Structure formats: C-alpha cells, structure tokens
C-alpha cells in the first residue's frame, strides 16, 4: 500500500518532513524539493487535497508529486508521468528516480504515451548525418510533413516514434518531462488573519489553507515563505525545520513566544507586518 509510511521509506535517504495537512511529506531530493501526496489509487486524491498540496508546493518553491500505484482501474507504469488535476502522478519507483535527480521522458496525455522532441537538435543532427526529411520520414514510418513539424519546434510524439528517432540521432534529441509544467490547481481560500491579508495584498504570493505555512511568494525579486499565528503551537517548530529544506527567506511574523529550537534554524522572527516588509526591503536594496 502506498501510505505515508511507504513514502517515508522512499524518502529515507534524504532530508524530509512529515506534514499530514497539506501533504504527506516534504522532501529535499538531490536537485529539488518535492511535496508528496501518497495514495494507493491516484483517483482518491481529491481536487481539494491536490489543490492544498499545490498551494504548499508553490509557496515554498517545490514540485508536487502524487505518488500512487493505480489510477482508477489502470495500473501505473514506472518511468512515466501521469496527470490528475494538473498535478504530476508517478509510481513509487519513479518518485525514487526523481529524488535521485534522474530524468523521466515519457508522459501520458489522454490515452497516448508521448515524448517531447527538441526540433532544433533534431534538425542539426539530421543535417550532420546528411539525411533528407524524406529519408527520415521513410525510416521512422511517418509523413514528410510530420518530420518537418517535428523540426519546427518542440513536438510531442508517440513513444514508438521517439524511440526510432533516438536510435537514428541519439537520445539528446529527447527532452525530459518538465515537472514545472504541472502548475496544479491551487486551492484559493480567503486569508485567515489580517496579517495574511496584508502580506497577500502587498506581494505576489500564494495563501496556503493548511500545512503550517501561511503565505509564500515574491516581493520585488525576493522569494519568501512566511508563517503567522494560527493558534497551533507546533507550527513554528515545523516551519523552522522546513526552512532548512528550502532555499527561501523564511520569516515568522507576530509570534509572542518563540521556541528555542527556532534559534538553530534560518527563520527570521519579526513582531509585525511592518517589520516583515522592512526585512524584505533591506534584502532587496542590498
């Protein structure tokens, strides 16, 4: 079963945090930070849950992954990226590969398995090999027009065609799946407190409904993640641990009692929203 405990096994080589509200795990892989939702069947990941996870991922500069073995009655394949509510869905083994920094090339779009071709590299390789468009078309079993279209830009082709092209010209004509394309349908909810409302109004940011993060975004050209009081005592400790995983300015705003553990984290603590903006202004001007 793909449960939170199962995801902990996937993440055990890396720094990670259990969440339980906006997602199951937040983990720093070799190259990226991932927010994970773990479920046996991806269809059980509701639009609301994916929306909350997406909001958290965007607020901390991470990528959202739904980790599952099935989608409805369909068994998911390794080394393929699927999609649900504009979020990437992968098998546990594929999640491991992504944490390792390995690339995945196959994406399922509707009923087709496709791979993206880099048209510029394809054209350069074809000319280097002194092959005509017609010769390539005949070799891979498509029309001349199709090859012409492939070379005009980035095209997604059926995986069988991609394999034939890679055999002719090498794998560098293939482009890996860009997880940044999965924007996620973030859950839009009104701010819970006046401090959240002020930060959202004055910055380009995202409000996180749950997940021990309040707001994350950009002020000027400076990325930040912020937490304001919501009456939960454990939020600050978790936020402090999160700040060690992400490469963003982490600021706690308006807390009266600050745990000693927070002193060992990169979190900056300010008394009010005005000081919050002063900190970011200093950073922007430096």
Are 258 and 252 in contact, with CB atoms under 8 Å apart? yes
Is residue 156's pLDDT more than 90? yes
Is residue 284's pLDDT more than 80? no
Distance between CA 109 and CA 95 in Å, rounded?
Answer: 19
CA 213 to centroid of chain Cα atoms: 17
Q: What is the pLDDT of residue 260?
A: 80
Q: Strand 215-219 and strand 222-227: pairing?
A: antiparallel
Q: What would the mean pLDDT of 247-276 be, rounded to a whole number?
A: 89
Q: Which residue has the tokens 């995202």?
A: 206
Q: Which CATH class is domain 194-285?
A: alpha beta
Q: What would the mean pLDDT of 105-126 be, rounded to a whole number?
A: 96
Q: What would the mean pLDDT of 138-154 be, rounded to a whole number?
A: 93
Residue 64's nearest CA partner among 41, 84, 37 is 37
Residue 185's nearest CA partner among 206, 216, 199, 170 is 206
Fold of 112-175: 434 Repressor (Amino-terminal Domain) (1.10.260)
More confident residue, 107 or 220: 107
Are 234 and 220 in contact, with CB atoms under 8 Å apart? no
Is 112-175 in the same CATH topology as 4-104?
A: no
Q: What would the mean pLDDT of 179-192 be, rounded to a whole number?
A: 88
The domains of the chain are located at 4-104, 112-175, 194-285
Distance between CA 116 and CA 241 in Å, rounded?
Answer: 37
Beta-bridged to residue 222, according to DSSP, are 219
Taking CB atoms within 8 Å and a gap of at least 24, the contacts of 198-204 are 198/273, 199/226, 199/228, 199/253, 199/273, 199/276, 202/277
How does pLDDT run across 56-97, given as a tens digit for each residue?
Answer: 999 999 999 999 999 999 999 999 999 999 999 999 999 999
Distance between CA 76 and CA 182 in Å, rounded?
Answer: 18
Q: What would the mean pLDDT of 206-235 be, rounded to a whole number?
A: 87
Q: What is the pLDDT of residue 245?
A: 93
On average, the pLDDT of the chain sits at 92
Q: What is the pLDDT of residue 233?
A: 67
CATH of domain 4-104: 3.40.1350
Distance between CA 177 and CA 89 in Å, rounded?
Answer: 12
């Amino acid at each position: 079963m793909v449960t939170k405990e199962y995801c902990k096994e996937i993440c055990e080589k890396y720094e990670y945090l259990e969440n339980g509200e906006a997602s199951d795990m937040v983990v720093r892989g070799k190259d990226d930070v991932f927010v994970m939702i773990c479920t046996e069947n991806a269809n059980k990941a509701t639009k609301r849950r994916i929306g909350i996870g997406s909001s958290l991922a965007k607020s901390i500069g991470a990528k959202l992954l739904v980790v599952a073995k099935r989608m409805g009655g369909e068994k998911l394949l390794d080394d393929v990226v699927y999609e649900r509510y504009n979020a990437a869905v992968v098998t546990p083994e594929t999640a491991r590969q992504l944490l390792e920094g390995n690339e995945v090339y196959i994406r399922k779009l509707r009923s087709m398995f496709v791979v993206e071709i880099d048209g510029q590299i394809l054209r350069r390789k074809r000319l280097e090999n002194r092959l005509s468009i017609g010769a390539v078309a005949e070799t891979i079993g498509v029309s001349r027009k199709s090859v012409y279209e492939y070379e005009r830009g980035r095209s997604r082709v059926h995986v069988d065609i991609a394999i034939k092209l890679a055999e002719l010209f090498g794998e560098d004509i293939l482009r890996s799946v860009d997880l940044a394309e999965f924007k996620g349908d973030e859950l839009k909810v009104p701010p819970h407190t006046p401090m959240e409302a002020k930060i959202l109004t004055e910055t380009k940011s995202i409000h996180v409904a749950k997940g021990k993060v309040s707001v994350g975004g950009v002020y000027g050209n400076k990325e930040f993640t912020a937490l304001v009081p919501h009456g939960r005592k454990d939020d600050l400790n978790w936020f402090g641990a999160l700040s060690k995983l992400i490469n963003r300015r982490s600021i706690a705003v308006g807390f009266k009692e600050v745990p000693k553990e927070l002193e060992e984290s990169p979190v900056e603590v300010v008394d009010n929203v005005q000081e919050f903006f002063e900190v970011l202004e200093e950073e922007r001007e430096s």
